[in-house]
Amino acid sequence: MKRLILKNTISLLAVCSLGLTSCLDLDPVVNDKIIPENYFQNEDDARAAVTAVYRPFIAGWSGSIFSAHVASYLMESNLVTDEMGLTRNDLEVVERFLWSSTESNVTKHYTNFIKHVSRATLLMDDLQRTPMNETRKQELTAEVQCARGLYMFMLYDFYGTAGVVTDPEVLRNPENEIFLERLSKEEFVKLIESDLKSAASVLPSTYATNDWGRFTKGAAYAILVKLYMQEKRWQDAEAACREIMKLGYDLQSSYSSVFSVENAKNNEIIWAIPCLAEGGEGNMWLTHIVPPGYPLANNKIQRWYVHNTPWSFYDKYEKGDDRLNSLVGEFKYLPEGATDSVLATRDNFEHLKKGALPIKYPEDPKQTTEYSGNDVVVHRYADVLLELAEAINEQNGPTGEAISYVEQIRARVGLPNSIPAAVTANKEAFRDFILDERGRELFCEGHRRRDLIRHDKLITTAHEEGYTTAQPHMVLFPIPQNIIDESQGKIKQNPGY
């Protein structure tokens, strides 16, 4: 006995430890994410990946494109024009044309957009190798292509041309770094055009209700119109508008109902960001606009009171314009402890002193806290009608057809047959009138900046607002310095910065 036992011990321990070594499984365990080998296997995978391409458009997050947050693409577009001001000092550098090349709030979109373009490029390639129904595959690919076209258009809008990647192989191997250059204007426009055109040729014109919000043929054309308008390719713009005319869109009978929850998915909307008060991303517009004291039926709506519309813009509306029910310059309210309601005006109400209230989106009775279910309208038929009128006017002057489209818009808001004769006398007068009418119709929808730039009025409008620091080069925002640096100087800054 005796020693033998202990010798056994040691050998047992040795076996034990060897055994453990052999069962040392060093494969990584990932339980809550997906490894690439298991992805792009079927249509469900493809659909979920396409959903992700839409993600940056959501309304309810400060970093997203169409959010009501002060530094979003949408709001910065509004802020540099005369249709929007700030009640708080959050982003005066943008409102007052004080930015420089180091202001990340205006440069950041460039980086985001080129990344979104790349993600779309990769996904279009991934979709090709996904086993699934060929027609669905083509439709999904067209959605991604339309998104890419839109991302590139937004780049073009804010920064002029950009360096983007449309070759998936470049992205498959990120270690192999490519120094991009900014494409020439012709090349870049052509790239956007070809994406949107080929998307438009495949995309369906409508979807079933539960797919509402995806890119449609109409959406692709609506973006294309914007591109042609900025390029002053009036004939192309007109043709694209007429394609949209074929798709069955119509004006809603009341202006505010275009934006209401009750009338969601109405057929004036060409493309919108679907919003949910709960259970998904919501619309933060009203929260950003409503000041304390303003009467709302739903007391769960949070009021942050960040943006307003300067009085100078408000005063461009005529009396009786129905749109002034959405751009509120005065309202009745019941002061605390009072029995009779009082009319709040810019002269007596603290929170109207700085400007009118752009209550574009009517209350959602289901809103709680910051988020409402009003879909954020990006492209709509009224916009297309005015664009068509402008495209015709630029080619042929104020024709009857062109005037009739403007008339349709005005008739809807209770101003029928009120276009002054002097306005339709010549191309230039009608051009100015359309610009103003577009401002009144599309206030705070993110189009006015482009409209003013197209008519070379962005800087003069800023000067009229008292922002004397606005300079001609500020029609484009600066490119982020780190993009220039990483390109080792191949990407050049916009002139003036």
Partner 1 sequence: MKKNLLLFVDFIKDIEIKHLIRIMRLSVFLILVSIFSTHATISNSQNIRITITEKTISLDKLINEIEQQTNYLFVYGENDIDLQQKVKVDARNKPISEVLDKTLKNLGITYEFSKNYISLRRIDADKTGVAVLQQTRKVSGVITDVNGEPIIGANILVKGTVQGTTTDLDGNYTLEVPSNAVLQFSYIGYLTQEVAVKDKAIINVSMKEDTKSLEEVVVIGYGSVKKSNLTGAITQVKAEDLPQAGNMSLGQMLTGKAAGMQVSLQSAQPGGGVWMQIRGNASGGAGNKGPLYVIDGFPISTENMEPGSDNRYESGNKSPLNNLNPADIASIEILKDASATAIYGARAANGVVLITTKRGKQGEKPKVQYSGSVSFQKRVKQIDMLDAQGFMAETNRVLYEDYLSDNKLGVYGNTDPSTVAPFSPKYSNDQIANAQTTDWLGAVERNGVITQHNLSLTGGTDKTSYYISGNYYDHQGVVKNNGIQRYSGRANFDQKLGKYIKTGINFNVSQVKSDNVALGSGQNENAGVIRAAMNANPSLPIYDEEGKYTLDPDQPYLANAVSLLEMTDESTVNQLLGNFYLIVTPFDGLDVKMNAGFQQEKGERNTYVPKTTLYGQKAGGEASKAYSNRSSKLFDLTASYTKTFNEVHNFSAMAGYSYQHFSSNGFNAGNSRFITDAFKWNNLAAGENTKPSVGSFGSEEVLGSVFARVNYNYADRYLISATMRGDASSKFAENHKWGYFPSMALAWRMINESFMQEQEIVSDLKWRVSLGQTGNSNIGNNALALYSTGYNYNFGDQQSIGVAQSQLANPNLKWETTTELNVGLDFGFFQNRITGSMEFFTRRVDDLLDEKVLMQYNPISKVMANIGAKGSKGFELGINTRNLIGEFSWSTDVVFSLYRDRWLERNPQWKKAIYENEKDMLNSYYLYISDGLVQPGDMNPDGTCKLPHMPNAKPGMIKYKDLNGRDEDGNLMEGPDGKLDDADVVYLGTKTSKFYLGFGNTFAYKGFDLNIFFYGYLGRQLENPAYDWYLKRSWFLKNGVNMATAVRDRWAHDNQSGKYPTSIMNPYDRSSDFWLENANFLRCKNITLGYTLPKIKNLDKVIQNLRVYGDVQNPFIITKYSGVDPEMDSMAAYPTQLTVSFGVDITF
Interface residues for partner 1 in 261-300 (CB under 8 A)?
273-281, 291-293, 299-300
Q: Name which position in 72, 73, 79, 101 contacts partner 1 (CB under 8 A).
A: 101
**Helix residue ranges per DSSP H, 354-465:** 381-396, 400-412, 427-441, 448-454, 458-464
Residues 469, 449: Cα–Cα separation, whole Å: 17
Strand 269-273, strand 357-358: pairing: unpaired
- The residues facing 307 across adjacent strands are 86
Residue placing its CB nearer to partner 1 in the complex, 296 or 422 = 296
Q: Shortest distance, CB of residue 198 to partner 1, whole angstroms? A: 22
Q: Shortest distance, CB of residue 172 to partner 1, whole angstroms? A: 10
- Cα-Cα-Cα-Cα torsion 131, 136, 142, 145, nearest 10 degrees, comes to -30
Q: Name which position in 42, 63, 133, 177 contacts partner 1 (CB under 8 A).
A: 177
Q: Is-contact 357 328, C-beta < 8 A?
A: yes
6 binds partner 1 (CB under 8 A): yes
Q: Name which position in 325, 388, 415, 486 contacts partner 1 (CB under 8 A).
A: 486
Residue placing its CB nearer to partner 1 in the complex, 256 or 302 = 302
Residues 104, 106: Cα–Cα separation, whole Å: 5
111 binds partner 1 (CB under 8 A): yes
Residues 67, 53: Cα–Cα separation, whole Å: 16
Interface residues for partner 1 in 43-72 (CB under 8 A)?
45, 47-49, 51-55, 57-58
Count of residues touching partner 1 (by CB under 8 A): 113
Interface residues for partner 1 in 300-339 (CB under 8 A)?
300-305
Q: Shortest distance, CB of residue 383 to partner 1, whole angstroms? A: 22
Interface residues for partner 1 in 401-460 (CB under 8 A)?
none
Q: Name which position in 348, 369, 418, 460 contacts partner 1 (CB under 8 A).
A: 369
Q: Name which position in 146, 284, 475, 483 contacts partner 1 (CB under 8 A).
A: 483
Q: Shortest distance, CB of residue 415 to partner 1, whole angstroms? A: 34
98 binds partner 1 (CB under 8 A): yes
167 binds partner 1 (CB under 8 A): no
Q: Shortest distance, CB of residue 25 to partner 1, whole angstroms? A: 7
Q: Is-contact 110 479, C-beta < 8 A?
A: yes
Q: Shortest distance, CB of residue 342 to partner 1, whole angstroms? A: 16
Q: Name which position in 129, 134, 135, 209 contacts partner 1 (CB under 8 A).
A: 209
**Amino acid letter for position 166:** T
Q: What are phi and psi of 67, to 5 degrees?
A: -80, 160
355 binds partner 1 (CB under 8 A): no
Strand 85-86, strand 307-308: pairing: antiparallel
> 14 vs 1, 11, 22, 422, CA distance in Å?
21, 5, 12, 102
Taking CB under 8 A as the binding criterion, the range among 111-119, 193-201, 217-225, 232-240 that sits at the site for partner 1 is 111-119
Q: In the numeric block, which tokens belong to residue 245?
A: 């005319």
The string of DSSP letters for 306-330 reads -EEB-HHHHTTSPTT-GGGGTEES-
Residue placing its CB nearer to partner 1 in the complex, 214 or 454 = 214
**Amino acid letter for position 352:** L
Q: Where are the beta strands (DSSP E) in 334-401?
A: 342-344, 357-358, 376-380
Residue placing its CB nearer to partner 1 in the complex, 118 or 393 = 118
Q: Shortest distance, CB of residue 244 to partner 1, whole angstroms? A: 22
The candidate with the shortest Cα–Cα distance to 329, out of 350, 342, 339, 315, is 315
Interface residues for partner 1 in 9-48 (CB under 8 A)?
9-10, 12-13, 15-17, 19-21, 23-36, 39, 45, 47-48
Residues 373, 274: Cα–Cα separation, whole Å: 8
